[in-house]
Structure 1
Amino acid sequence: MVLLIAAPLALALVAFAMPSARRRPLVLLAGALVHTAGVLALLAAPPPAREGAWLAFDPLARVTLLTATALFLASAVYAQGYLARRADRDNRVFVGGLLVLLSAMTTVALSHHLGLTWVAMEASTLSTAPLIYFNQNARSLEAAWKYLLIGSLGIALALLGTFFLALAGAGPGGPKSLMVEDLIAAGGALSRPWVRAAFVFLLVGYGTKMGLAPLHSWKPDAYGEAPGILGALLAGGLTNFAFVSVVRVFQVTIAAGEGAFARDALMALGLLSIGLAAVFVVGQRDFKRMLAYSSVEHMGILAIGVSLGGAATAGAFFHTMNNGLTKGVLFLSAGNIHRAFGSKTTDDVHGAARRLPLSGPLFLAGFLAITGSPPFGPFFSEFAIVNGAFGAGRYWVGGLFLAFLAVIFVGMAATVLDVVQGDPSDAPRVPGTGDSWLTAGPPLALMLVVLALGVFLPAGLKDLFGAAAALVGGGW
């Protein structure tokens, strides 16, 4: 497991040292292939759990790493075509930073020590901020600083929450442990006021990284100005790992007897996130900012799923995979459309399906999938969450959930159809930016996986989602 973290870091150093900008993207691809091989090897032969180990390949790690490695591999292939077309930009920091981000995300997934989790989340912030500035204009600089400042504030609050959790288990000799297993084992012996305070600060801190409302203000700018590759890894990867950090703290909160308090907090932020996304998606003319609000919505869906318990929680972990892969489709295809038209607003972009015969339809298909249309995977994970709400007698939650999703569907449809349909002959054109298999093939592959997850869910994956849900009292 250590190699799964160390290998991307070592390759990041190679990328920073390599003089050839043309060959440097191959290092990114090598890192993706090594990481994918490592994750598959761990899935094939899971290492035995060791008492006191800081790193463990538990069901939460399996779900998120399987999603992230597939998304990163698709992004690394995409980068071969994308960076070849962006020879005007030095890609040293971009390639190296993406590999550092992969290492940091892997550490968060495997970490069972909340101090190490915090360090890895901070590393993800520091490695990502410079990448948002890749286009080197005033708007991308503003977005990078906003991401860094708001993310740093969130991570500072998470540090305070981590301290409070340590104090919750303090005895005569001081704080005893920040290991998740030790804190769960302490259970009712933990100080409940400190546990409550810790959960609030950690939910706000890591919720900022997730982009839960009202902590989401960095997302529209960062996702709007970042390259499509980074947008895919932020919306489909890093936010999932921030969610895992919240879930690990949620485990401790349940063990301490404060599960009802934590569920109410998650429910409130989840509904607020979906409601806010519904407001801002309607009339959105910038299609990349629209995807940012879609990300806010889906982080809210995850929070609601976990708060409900039962099958809804298993549905939430299923949704981490569906949302992550579908966001890859949307951001990578949106990046292709942005480059082909030189704009990301519906004032200038229309007829994408005719100008980009692969990316345009993929953007439309990704929209249908992310809004929960059958037969794509997100329909079934969202259905599990809605069904869980009604099954638990939370009719008002299920009703609001469906109402917000309906508004978001209509709002996103207006923007997406403006982009995809129409005659592109009078729209701006950037020469040499048509579809290629390197830039359109990866989102196509991800789209096929999302469709496959809707048509047939393998028993092994279903059991994995159930095992992850069981850690917080849920399950199929």
Structure 2
Amino acid sequence: MIAALLLLPFCGGLAAFCLPSDRLRPLLLPVCGLGHLILTFFVIQSGQGAPLPLAGNWIVVDPFSRLILLIVSLLFCGCSFYAVGYLRYRIAWGNRIFVSCLLLFLSAMSLAAVARHLGLLWVAVEATTVASAPLIYYNRNRLSIEATWKYLILCSVGIALAMLGILFVAYAALAGGAQVSLQFDDILLGAANYSTPWLRAGFVFLLVGFGTKAGFAPLHTWKPDAYGEAPGLVGALLAGGLTSVAFLALLRTLQIMDAAGDGAMAREAFLAMGLVSLGFAAVFVIRQPDFKRLLAYSSVEHMGILAIGVAIGGVATFGAMLHLMNNALTKGVLFLSAGNIHRRFASKRVGEVQGAITLVPVSASLFLLGFLAITGSPPFAPFISEFTILRGIFSGGHYLTGALFLFFLAVIFIGMGSTVLSVVFGTPLERKGDTNYRETLMTTGTPLVLLLIILFLGLSLPEPARKLFAEAAALLEVKP
């Protein structure tokens, strides 16, 4: 089952590259996306209570894997249906590379989710960079090539630093007289005997390396360009899928530090990165003139929220696991609806885009509701997860952190609201953009479904979902 989960999108990508028809090729996306989602549900169900080993315990499904697989698969499945409608408008551009890379991107993210070996995890995360770079360049203009190179260079530097971190972890085992292995279970068993200075050095490099991929501030500088220039569905997969995979890699490093008895130091680093990310986001969302770059800074904000939740521990960790899902699906709503608005107005500048509710009413309404959801407004699910994290902060006595958390969220709400309201309401400029563009079920159905899921999770959290989040959070509980 796990092999099928990894091979389905990989083989789909190869088939897409070989298929000659630009009209038929996009149909592979929903076929593979839906198949991947069905397989994911089977893997989650069969994996309850025990890991599923494959390839000598290098590939194992644990609670983190189940959560990330579900997030990635749900988001990709939705984006795959959206892509069919989107690519119809760009049929003259060709889509061989685009469709192939989308499917290979899904395969790489799936491999990262189930990797139980630090080396394999590193390879999978690097593969996501290689597969997603051509997607950012799809618009083929000066800004998109600049964004692609910035993404490639910064993420490659980050992943190189992560490689150094892995080497330091291995040397920490050697210096401590423990078994040298990169298999995750072996590391957890022997981490207590690792050399503390070398292990801490490894953690710092892993935090910076994978933190660059996740987009923590000040390591986030690739995000505004990449999210701003990529098509909306690519931005959704980057902000909801790729960052979730990178955050999973960071959670693995935190598990290692906990096993070594040095989790307090690691959590302090997570807390610092989280607060810095919130602060950066609060500064740059104010008077942001580009509504797609605005969503990039929102992604920086929510990576910070996740880091803070994990750093605080206890009930806040459960809130962070829930927020990982909420953030990914809500980003899907925002990026897909923003992509529709961008296509209608042929601009991302707030001064040139106004009155969207008049010209693309469904997309504009979804964009507005997505803004309310991502900023933690009830009754949407991000309100529940952010409130849970906040409850954990104050119940743990972290009053200064709680005050800063609330202050930054308030500033971000006001800053984002100013831009979003300017885009949605007002009087449209005459004859601006593509006047022939019309909303379709394909391009509005996916963000609507994702929004309904977020609303449902905010009103009622089903027991299987609650158990999934609780099991993932339990992996980060420090044992006495």
Structure 2 equivalent of residue 27 of structure 1: 28
Structure 1: distance between partners of 2:177 and 2:276: 41
**Alpha-carbon displacement from aligned partner over 1:226-281 (angstroms, at most 9, x marks no partner):** 00010000001110010000001110111111111100100001000000000000
- In the alignment, is residue 262 of structure 1 matched against residue 263 of structure 2? no
Structure 1: distance between partners of 2:331 and 2:153: 25
**Alpha-carbon displacement from aligned partner over 1:52-77 (angstroms, at most 9, x marks no partner):** 51111211111111111111011000
Matching residue's letter, 1:365 = L
Residue 34 of structure 1: CA displacement? 1.4
Structure 2 equivalent of residue 307 of structure 1: 311
Structure 1 equivalent of residue 136 of structure 2: 132
Structure 2: distance between partners of 1:426 and 1:297: 35
- Paired residue total: 475
Structure 1 equivalent of residue 280 of structure 2: 276
- In the alignment, is residue 459 of structure 1 matched against residue 460 of structure 2? no
- In the alignment, is residue 405 of structure 1 matched against residue 406 of structure 2? no
Structure 2: distance between partners of 1:411 and 1:304: 21
Structure 1: distance between partners of 2:168 and 2:452: 45
Q: 1:49 aligns with which of 26, 51, 54?
A: 51
Alpha carbons 1:348, 1:427 under 8 Å: kept: no
- In the alignment, is residue 382 of structure 1 matched against residue 386 of structure 2? yes
Structure 2 equivalent of residue 201 of structure 1: 205
Residue 170 of structure 1: CA displacement? 1.9
Structure 1 equivalent of residue 7 of structure 2: 6
Alpha carbons 2:354, 2:429 under 8 Å: kept: no
Alpha carbons 2:159, 2:210 under 8 Å: kept: yes
Structure 2 equivalent of residue 84 of structure 1: 88
Alpha carbons 2:176, 2:193 under 8 Å: kept: no
Alpha carbons 1:341, 1:427 under 8 Å: kept: no
Matching residue's letter, 1:342 = A
Matching residue's letter, 1:101 = F
Q: 1:236 aligns with which of 221, 235, 240?
A: 240
Residue 459 of structure 1: CA displacement? 1.5
Residue 23 of structure 1: CA displacement? 0.6
Shift in alpha-carbon separation, 1:368–1:427, aligned structure 2, 3 A: farther
Matching residue's letter, 2:73 = T
Q: In structure 1, the residue corresponding to 2:91 is in which secondary structure? A: coil
Q: In structure 2, the residue corresponding to 1:423 is in which secondary structure? A: coil
Q: CA RMSD in A?
A: 1.5
Structure 2: distance between partners of 1:176 and 1:143: 39
Residue 426 of structure 1: CA displacement? 2.6
Structure 1: distance between partners of 2:174 and 2:388: 39
Matching residue's letter, 1:17 = C
Structure 2 equivalent of residue 246 of structure 1: 250
Structure 2 equivalent of residue 224 of structure 1: 228
Q: 2:339 aligns with which of 335, 340, 363?
A: 335
Alpha carbons 2:347, 2:433 under 8 Å: kept: no
Alpha carbons 1:68, 1:237 under 8 Å: kept: yes
Matching residue's letter, 1:165 = V
Alpha carbons 2:179, 2:190 under 8 Å: kept: no
Structure 2 equivalent of residue 18 of structure 1: 19
Matching residue's letter, 1:27 = L
Residue 431 of structure 1: CA displacement? 2.9
Structure 1 equivalent of residue 350 of structure 2: 346
Residue 427 of structure 1: CA displacement? 5.9
Structure 1: distance between partners of 2:212 and 2:90: 31
Matching residue's letter, 2:46 = A
Instruction: Give ranges in structure 2 of 5+ residues lacking alignment.
Output: none
Alpha carbons 1:67, 1:324 under 8 Å: kept: yes
Structure 1: distance between partners of 2:123 and 2:303: 22
Structure 2: distance between partners of 1:173 and 1:182: 14
Matching residue's letter, 1:81 = G
Shift in alpha-carbon separation, 1:260–1:172, aligned structure 2, 3 A: closer
Structure 2 equivalent of residue 65 of structure 1: 69
Matching residue's letter, 2:86 = Y
Shift in alpha-carbon separation, 1:172–1:353, aligned structure 2, 3 A: closer
Q: In structure 2, the residue corresponding to 1:169 is in which secondary structure? A: helix
- In the alignment, is residue 145 of structure 1 matched against residue 175 of structure 2? no
Alpha carbons 1:312, 1:474 under 8 Å: kept: no
Matching residue's letter, 1:324 = A
Matching residue's letter, 1:7 = L
Alpha carbons 1:166, 1:175 under 8 Å: kept: no
Alpha carbons 1:168, 1:190 under 8 Å: kept: yes
Instruction: Give ranges in structure 1 of 5+ residues lacking alignment.
Output: none
Structure 2: distance between partners of 1:290 and 1:88: 30
Structure 2: distance between partners of 1:462 and 1:214: 33
Matching residue's letter, 2:84 = Q
Q: In structure 2, the residue corresponding to 1:429 is in which secondary structure? A: coil
Residue 50 of structure 1: CA displacement? 5.6
Structure 2 equivalent of residue 362 of structure 1: 366
Structure 1 equivalent of residue 435 of structure 2: 431
Alpha carbons 2:175, 2:195 under 8 Å: kept: no
Alpha carbons 1:311, 1:474 under 8 Å: kept: no
Alpha carbons 2:161, 2:206 under 8 Å: kept: yes
Shift in alpha-carbon separation, 1:100–1:215, aligned structure 2, 3 A: same
Identity %: 54
Structure 2: distance between partners of 1:162 and 1:388: 32
Matching residue's letter, 2:370 = G
Structure 2: distance between partners of 1:94 and 1:126: 13
Matching residue's letter, 1:44 = Q
Alpha carbons 2:258, 2:478 under 8 Å: kept: no
Structure 2 equivalent of residue 178 of structure 1: 182
- In the alignment, is residue 189 of structure 1 matched against residue 190 of structure 2? no
Alpha carbons 2:352, 2:429 under 8 Å: kept: no
Matching residue's letter, 1:290 = L
Shift in alpha-carbon separation, 1:172–1:283, aligned structure 2, 3 A: closer
Matching residue's letter, 1:306 = V
Structure 2: distance between partners of 1:229 and 1:462: 28
Structure 2: distance between partners of 1:225 and 1:446: 23
Matching residue's letter, 2:57 = A
Residue 171 of structure 1: CA displacement? 6.4
